[in-house]
């Protein structure tokens, strides 16, 4: 009960976007999605794929980083490259699918966190550049129906 109350009170940042020709307004939530890969080339392939499909407006490849994690009953440490992607909550399913299609890991880290604040002009730019909703809430990566 308390966790539900705290969840409902969490800060949220949304952008008002005009909808279809009826000028319906809809609220849009932005997310930042991260994944890690063993090589810079793998991380860059993921970045290129998701930006190319307009599932992310920007993807940054950072690294190398050192990751320590449990894998198959043992603690492992490895150098990895982090891919940080900016997107919208309504595109998460397609974004995850696109990451999995390119990602070489058996169990890739794919985590999304909400963007709770951001500059208005940057968020508006993101919204313009991302795939847009079509009738029935479906998404299209190239902006077509």
What residues does each domain of the chain span? 30-130
**Separation of alpha carbons 132 and 20, rounded Å:** 11
Average pLDDT, the chain: 82
The pLDDT tens digits for 51-110 are 999 999 999 999 999 999 999 999 999 999 999 999 999 999 999 999 999 999 999 999
**In a 3-state reduction of DSSP, which class is residue 90?**
helix
Does residue 134 contact residue 145 with C-beta atoms inside 8 Å?
yes
* Beta strand 58-71 pairing with 74-88: antiparallel
Beta bridge partners of 80: 65
Return the structure tokens found at 128: 């313009």
Are the C-beta atoms of residues 135 and 145 closer than 8 Å to each other?
A: yes
Let me know: does 109 contact 34? Beta carbons within 8 Å.
yes
CATH numeric code, 30-130: 3.30.70.120
pTM of the predicted protein model = 0.76
Report whether pLDDT(137) > 80: no
Of all residues in the chain, the percent with pLDDT exceeding 70 is 72
């Amino acid at each position: 009960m308390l966790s539900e109350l705290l969840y409902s009170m969490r800060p949220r940042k949304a952008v008002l976007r005009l909808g279809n020709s009826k000028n319906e307004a809809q609220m849009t939530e932005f997310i930042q999605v991260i994944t890690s890969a063993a090589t810079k080339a793998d991380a860059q392939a993921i970045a290129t794929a998701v930006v190319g499909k307009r599932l992310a407006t920007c993807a940054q490849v950072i690294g190398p980083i050192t990751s320590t994690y449990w894998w198959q009953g043992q603690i492992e440490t490895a150098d990895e490259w982090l891919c940080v992607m900016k997107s919208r909550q309504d595109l998460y399913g397609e974004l995850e699918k696109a990451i999995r299609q390119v990602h070489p890991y058996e169990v890739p880290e794919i985590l999304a966190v909400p963007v709770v604040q951001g500059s208005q002009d940057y968020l508006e730019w993101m919204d313009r550049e991302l795939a847009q909703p079509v009738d029935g809430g479906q998404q299209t990566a190239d902006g077509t129906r």
